[in-house]
Structure 1
Amino acid sequence: MTETSPARPANTGVRQTRPRTEGWTQKKDAEGRPLLQFASPKRGKPPVHLADMTPPERVEKVKELGLPGFRAKQLSTHYFTHYTSDPAEMTDLPAAQREELVAGMLPPLLTEVRQLKTDRGDTIKFLWRLHDGALVESVLMRYPGRITLCVSSQAGCGMNCPFCATGQAGLTRNMSTAEIIEQIVRANRLIAEGGLGGKKSDDHSMERVSNIVFMGMGEPLANYKRVMDAVRIMVADQPNGLGMSARGITVSTVGLVPAIRKLSDEGIPVTFALSLHAPDDHLRDELIPVNSKWKVDEALDAAREYYEKTGRRVSIEYALIKDMNDHGWRADLLAEKLNERGRGWVHVNPIPLNPTPESVWTASTREVTNEFVRRLNDAGIPTTLRDTRGKEIDGACGQLVATTEDEAAAAQLG
């Protein structure tokens, strides 16, 4: 399929706002194109943690530390089931060797800098400092019947999308498998201690994270191996992992086509989400710089292939930006492209962009949003306007970024 659509149809009278950076300078390559960072910068590696190892590797490591191999299962139970790294709570381990075992297997990975809460305590944003001083965020959200954690997979992001706060600072480094998992374990610990907003009387869901969305800092498929190793631990039965359902895990991407195809062959039925944001290459080249490598049709073909191989319906994420990508003709073009690839394979999740005062980047109006959704639904594309959580604490989609205020707070920890 080829891209034939112009920037906008002639004589429609619609306003077309062009993307531009505001308050920061977009990194460019030698030819003046937005710089894409796929490789992680070289930095000191985090300490190796139990969650970086396979179960057999955990047994061997425990033996290296001078204890019998069965202690690895006990340690895994404490970490993945009781959500603790505190040796004082591990009374089934030998007191004389407990501290050394925990230090060797469960080294500290995330230092909590602070929490910010909103939605009457049902949404919490965590700011974490990694071992090398890098800062990342994750967002915990209680919904009726489920608890969702938005996790980071990289410190920063190298995809350089101009409307996303995370991408403005570039990529600091990939996160390790264990650093990804630790976000979930720490969130589960907080829930177990009653730190998340009140549960409704008719809500019979489990009091732990049930859903994961890789929509925090970073491009998950640019850190492919560590993200997939983390997913395997999420779905592994306790005590070897977190015992989660793969169907409750969403892996998103801005369109790294080779990695999407690789994900299709993993045999793990996660939900796949493509952050599209424009159905035409003319605009998407500017909104999503990786579109210069893999065009809209290539990304959609790979997404359709994911559905064909896994049977899992694909999600299309679409941030609605006023006068930029929210035109009715773009809804029609999106529906046309999706329907060309069949029916029943995709679901569209529009979300009004989290607005910035006085900025070209602001949310579509309610009327325009409703019209965009209506056109998709009328074309037979299942479409649901996504709930926005955490705007008040800069915890919503596209808002996660380490600010100078965050850096100052982290520095006070010493």
Structure 2
Amino acid sequence: MGEAERARIMAKTARFAPPAAVLADGRREIIGLSREELTDALAAIGEKPFRTKQVWHWVYHQGVTDFRRMSSLARPLQEKLAERFVIGRPEASTVQTSSDETRKFLFRFRDGQEAETVYIPDRREDRGAVCISSQVGCTLSCRFCHTGTQALVRNLGAAEIVGQFMAARDSYGEWPSPRGETPRLLSTIVLMGMGEPLYNYDNVAKAMRIIMDGEGIALSRRRITLSTSGVVPMMDRCGAELGINLAVSLHAVRDELRDEIVPLNRKYPIRELIEACRRYPAASNARRITFEYIMLRGVNDSEAEARELVRLISGIPAKVNLIPFNPWPGSDYQPSTREQLAKFAQIVMDAGFASPIRMPRGRDILAACGQLRTESRRERPAA
């Protein structure tokens, strides 16, 4: 599997492209532009390249949304920028906070489509993870996942992906204070929200490069994790180009079962997926691949399956996240019992792999793993 397969994947998802980041009045969205694109856009209105660094700092380091707050720019330039550009955010149409302080945002984008984003705090360290969506809906139809019951509507653009993190920062006042202090509650990003990130790779990669830029948000690649169900050719590209952490939604150790609950397995079976994990260049003892394994009672949680899991991942710098199934309306599965969870975890741990049982967060607001879904629909083409 090489460039031809990667090209086929990109062509297949191109019809779900996001709308252009241009408003009805002709102004262009600055969020989501790469440094090179911003330089070109500023040059088109007669500004020198050094302006890129100034604008980038105000937008991504200070988090301003009003050109008039860019105090290092002269007022005429502020006005010229405001006439031609906009610094937007997705609109939070609803915000829910769980009893465990998990917060779920339903973000509405300029075309009215919506996606969910979740902030999961870790109060022991005053830090937390922002779970970001990469698509509206999903194309994978995993049987245990609520998001998978919503057909793919479209990909999210780089502006919409970056914008989720920036809007979450707005919500928590996470931009530097006048005294230069920067709180770090939103310390990590997990691309584990709605959608398969590797089926929207170009937009995801562009967004992550913006977020990792050292003169802006400056989040380290070590603090970004991309979760995939196993789009093998794009895993190789992601590892080579971004080098961010990898999480793999495995959920079964036999092809016949994984074919059923993760249909993507029919195209990229377990053997190919595990080989791609062994090749992943960012994997090391310090940066282990995370294997996500949702525990379904009587389906994939036997001791025999735990032993086969250990055999499959032997030799890979890895940890295994065991995820109790989070029920959602209409689901067919039940979570494994505590006793079976403990037995499974012990077998994996005895083999030398960390095997934490992930405590469900945000269940009361349907913000837990596999529970995200919106009412967005893909418009039918005119007859």
TM-score by length of 1: 0.79
Specify the alignment match of 2:348 in structure 1: 376
Cα–Cα, structure 1 residues 219 and 64, in superposed 2: closer, same or farther, change >3 Å? same
User: Are 1:153 and 1:174, in contact at CA under 8 Å, matched by a contact in 2?
Assistant: yes
Specify the alignment match of 1:183 in structure 2: 164
Specify the alignment match of 1:134 in structure 2: 113
Unmatched 5+ stretches in structure 1: 1-36, 195-203, 408-414
Shift of 1:71: 3.3
Specify the alignment match of 2:214 in structure 1: 237
User: Are 2:211 and 2:219, in contact at CA under 8 Å, matched by a contact in 1?
Assistant: yes
Specify the alignment match of 1:226 in structure 2: 203
User: Are 1:109 and 1:131, in contact at CA under 8 Å, matched by a contact in 2?
Assistant: no
Shift of 1:232: 1.3
- Report SS of the residue matched to 1:139: strand
Cα–Cα, structure 1 residues 358 and 208, in superposed 2: closer, same or farther, change >3 Å? closer
User: Are 1:84 and 1:189, in contact at CA under 8 Å, matched by a contact in 2?
Assistant: no
User: Are 1:269 and 1:310, in contact at CA under 8 Å, matched by a contact in 2?
Assistant: no
- Report SS of the residue matched to 1:333: helix
Specify the alignment match of 1:210 in structure 2: 187
Shift of 1:205: 9.4
Cα–Cα, structure 1 residues 43 and 76, in superposed 2: closer, same or farther, change >3 Å? closer
- Partner amino acid, structure 2, of 1:152: S
Q: Distance in 1 between matches of 2:167 and 2:50?
A: 25
Q: Distance in 1 between matches of 2:328 and 2:170?
A: 34
* Deviation by residue 1:164-210 (Cα, 9 ceiling, x = unmatched): 1112121111111111111111112222279xxxxxxxxx9943521
Of 264, 279, 283, the residue aligned with 1:290 is 264
Shift of 1:58: 1.3
Specify the alignment match of 1:13 in structure 2: none
Shift of 1:131: 1.3
Cα–Cα, structure 1 residues 42 and 253, in superposed 2: closer, same or farther, change >3 Å? closer
Shift of 1:74: 2.4
Specify the alignment match of 1:304 in structure 2: 278
Q: Distance in 2 between matches of 1:331 and 1:103?
A: 60
Shift of 1:387: 2.8
* Deviation by residue 1:104-142 (Cα, 9 ceiling, x = unmatched): 34353512201100145x321111111111110111122
- Report SS of the residue matched to 1:52: coil
Of 55, 64, 73, the residue aligned with 2:35 is 55
Cα–Cα, structure 1 residues 349 and 42, in superposed 2: closer, same or farther, change >3 Å? closer
Q: In the alignment, does 2:167 pair up with 1:167? A: no
How many residues are aligned here?
353
User: Are 1:118 and 1:124, in contact at CA under 8 Å, matched by a contact in 2?
Assistant: yes
Q: Distance in 1 between matches of 2:239 and 2:47?
A: 40
User: Are 1:140 and 1:149, in contact at CA under 8 Å, matched by a contact in 2?
Assistant: yes
Cα–Cα, structure 1 residues 167 and 102, in superposed 2: closer, same or farther, change >3 Å? farther
- Report SS of the residue matched to 1:265: helix
Shift of 1:51: 3.6
- Report SS of the residue matched to 2:294: strand
Shift of 1:72: 2.9
Q: Distance in 2 between matches of 1:61 and 1:205?
A: 29
After the TM superposition, which of the residue ranges 328-337 and 270-279 deviates more from structure 2? 328-337
Specify the alignment match of 1:410 in structure 2: none
Of 264, 269, 291, the residue aligned with 1:316 is 291
- Report SS of the residue matched to 2:225: strand
Q: How many percent of aligned residue pairs carry the same amino acid?
A: 34
Cα–Cα, structure 1 residues 102 and 387, in superposed 2: closer, same or farther, change >3 Å? farther
- Report SS of the residue matched to 2:153: strand
- Report SS of the residue matched to 2:260: helix
Unmatched 5+ stretches in structure 2: 1-11, 23-27, 176-180, 378-383
- Report SS of the residue matched to 1:158: coil
Of 5, 8, 20, the residue aligned with 1:45 is 20
